Amino acid sequence: MSNDSQHLRLDAASLESATRRAVEALARGEVVALPTESLYVLCARADRAGLQRLAQVAGKPRRPAVLLGAPSELSNWTVAGAMVRRVITKYWPGPLELRVPAAQRSAGELAQDGTIALRCPADAIPTSVARAAGVPVAVLDAARTTDELRALPGLALVLDNGPTRIGEPPVTLELAPGRFRVENEGLIDAASLRRTVGLEIAFVCTGNTCRSPMAEGIARARLSERLGVPANGLASFGFGVRSMGVFASPGEPASPHAVTVLRDSGIDISAHRAQPTVPETIASLDRVYALTRSHLEALRATLPPGKDRHCELLDPQGRDIADPIGGPRSAYESTAAQIRRAIEVRLESWA
């Protein structure tokens, strides 16, 4: 290779020594090229000098990502909420770059617009180098084959493992308040990512006119605040929220007190119409929250054995949510407060 780059062809016998040489080159502040399943990447220390050198070798301004040695290292760079945890459980290690809110204490110059890009490839070579480096490593996508790296001046070392298996850039998912964006869609499509990020949630009471519509409205409002989108924008993050009743009369409106109590806190459920539980629908959801034990038992009775694990009481303490039907406005206010407290606890596991 030109520019005095060292080109090491990898095999089982040379892998350990090649990894060690890559770590030594990074320690000297040099730029090295490593194979991943998607593309070869350029790597450098993730400090100011290393990032400048990486940009010089790459030849054009692009956003680097942090190379992680294992998915568990994610917590060094961001506060990983439930959505991010669902994504990395399914797609890491693999060809997915995540852009998530940065933990400012560690992100430094790697943060852009409050987010940091993180990569955990499936190929063992880059993750081994990242674990052995002892310092954060920044990466940029470079090429499908080592032949395409020949024109890059200043590249110190190439670990050549032949043509990359996929030969396409990794999919990039930006997941931050108000932002769900997918780039390089192909290997993983945006619809699949949304299904992984979000949840289909339902609340179940008796007639679907008091408690469960209030739970639906409160949950929509709190999720929208947390995601940084309007209540009608939850689907952009893959969330669906609904309510049903085990003895609901289809088409019944929400009770007047339920509507007015929530309206006073800025939540509009006036368009709600009751719908009954349907076993096939219940089975297809991610989380189903019953308002009382009797509702939970009714749900479980309609599902095949072992298919009810996603059904539970809304109150994490196992308490029934009081039924305000026929009572004064104050009864609805008390029930709404119970529901709010339960949803506030549940919210951490949703988003």
Q: What are phi and psi of 241, to 5 degrees?
A: -130, 130
Q: What is the pLDDT of residue 14?
A: 85
Q: What is the pLDDT of residue 2?
A: 44
Residue-wise DSSP of 239-268: -EEEEEETT--TTPBPPHHHHHHHHTTT--
Number of domains observed in the structure of the chain: 2
For strand 31-34 and strand 115-119, is the pairing parallel, antiparallel, or unpaired?
Answer: unpaired
Decide if 295 is inside a domain: yes
Residues 30 and 120 in one domain: yes
Residues 127 and 273 in one domain: no
Q: What is the pLDDT of residue 260?
A: 98
Residues 258 and 294 in one domain: yes
Which positions ≥6 away from 285 have C-beta within 8 Å?
200, 201, 202, 310
- State how far the Cα of 85 lies from the Cα of 345, in Å rounded to an integer: 18
Among residues 47, 308, 323, 341, which one is catalytic? 323
18 CA to centre of own chain: 34
> What are the tens digits of pLDDT across the range 52-65?
999 999 998 899 99
Task: Look up residue 169 and give its DSSP letter.
Answer: P
Decide if 49 is inside a domain: yes
Q: What is the pLDDT of residue 1?
A: 41
Residues 183 and 224 in one domain: no
Query: By the 8 A CB rule, do 138 and 172 touch?
Result: no
Q: Is 205 a catalytic residue?
A: yes
Extended strands (E) in 55-95 = 65-67
Residues 221 and 119 in one domain: no
Q: What is the pLDDT of residue 103?
A: 87
Residue at a domain's end among 139, 167, 196: 196
Q: What is the pLDDT of residue 3?
A: 53
Q: Is 211 a catalytic residue?
A: yes
Query: By the 8 A CB rule, do 316 and 345 touch?
Result: yes
* Low-confidence spans in the chain with pLDDT less than 50: 1-2
Q: Tell me how far CA of residue 94 lies from CA of 9, 39, 70, 235, 331, in angstroms.
A: 23, 12, 11, 25, 52
Q: What is the pLDDT of residue 104?
A: 66
Residues 100 and 228 in one domain: no
Decide if 60 is inside a domain: yes
Q: What are phi and psi of 209, to 5 degrees?
A: -125, -15
- Angle among Cα 133, 137, 138 to the nearest 5 degrees reads 160
Residue 272: which domain range? 198-350
- State how far the Cα of 309 lies from the Cα of 36, in Å rounded to an integer: 38
Compute the Cα dihedral for 85, 238, 309, 252 and give only its sign.
positive
Residues 263 and 132 in one domain: no
Residue at a domain's end among 174, 196, 218: 196
Among residues 53, 86, 119, 211, which one is catalytic? 211
Among residues 205, 210, 311, 315, which one is catalytic? 205
Residues 265 and 156 in one domain: no
E strand or H helix that includes residue 96: strand 96-101
Q: What is the pLDDT of residue 106?
A: 61
Residues 17 and 91 in one domain: yes
Q: What is the pLDDT of residue 150?
A: 84
Residues 137 and 234 in one domain: no
Residue at a domain's end among 162, 196, 230: 196
Residues 24 and 137 in one domain: yes
Decide if 1 is inside a domain: no
The letter for the amino acid at 100 is: V
Q: Is 323 a catalytic residue?
A: yes
Q: What is the pLDDT of residue 4?
A: 60
pTM value is 0.93
Across-strand partners of 176? 179
> What are the tens digits of pLDDT across the range 65-111?
999 999 999 999 999 999 999 999 999 999 999 999 998 666 778 89
**CATH, residue 334:** 3.40.50.2300
Residues 185 and 138 in one domain: yes
